[in-house]
Amino acid sequence: MTPLMEIAFYSDREIGSKASWIIEFVSKSDLSFLLNNIDFFVKNLYRLKADSSIRPMAKLCEILTLSYFLKREEKTKEALLDEHLEIMTTACFDWLVGNYKVASKVYSMTSLYYLGEKIPWIRPELKLVVEHDYSTGSAGYQAKARKILGHLKE
């Protein structure tokens, strides 16, 4: 997994994107592959610039946060440190407010919602961003935004 991550984070758009897709596919099948390389993964999220690389990595952030907060899987809770969660928060906010495609934004919204369980300032900020961008967002963005805003009101 490490050589694949090096390609994903350090290579040009086409091959880096393909490596990102493979990492997503493998990690969805068995999250331990990603958890064994979590430090490298999280600390290099900032390097991504291409939408085609960001989308699979945003999906992996969503998978990680769901595993950590919703499923409460011990392996994930042991592997993800507070530092990792903070870096993921920054990356997800960057993808949510940046000029990226809707899939990356939707995955980031989910991740940020769950990260807000542990980091209290996230949810109020998430609400502001989602409400601000709601009217100009695509149908997919608006559908996810309605769900997130509904959860935030509870």
What's the predicted TM-score (pTM) here? 0.96
In the predicted model, what is the mean pLDDT of residues 78-104? 97
Does the pLDDT of residue 113 top 90, yes or no? yes
Question: CA-to-CA distance for 132 and 5, rounded, in angstroms?
Answer: 34
In the predicted model, what is the mean pLDDT of residues 100-104?
A: 96
117 residue type, one letter: E
pLDDT exceeds cutoff 90 at 154? no
pLDDT at 12 over 90: no
**Residue whose tokens read 């989910």:** 110
Exposure letters 52-82 (e unless 16+ CB within 10 A, then b): bbbbbbbbbbbbbbebbbeeebeebeebbee
pLDDT value at position 16?
95
Phi, psi angle pair for 58, to nearest 5°: -65, -40
Confidence at 11, pLDDT banded by 50, 70, 90? confident
75-89 tens-digit pLDDT: 999 999 999 999 999
CATH of domain 2-153: 1.25.10
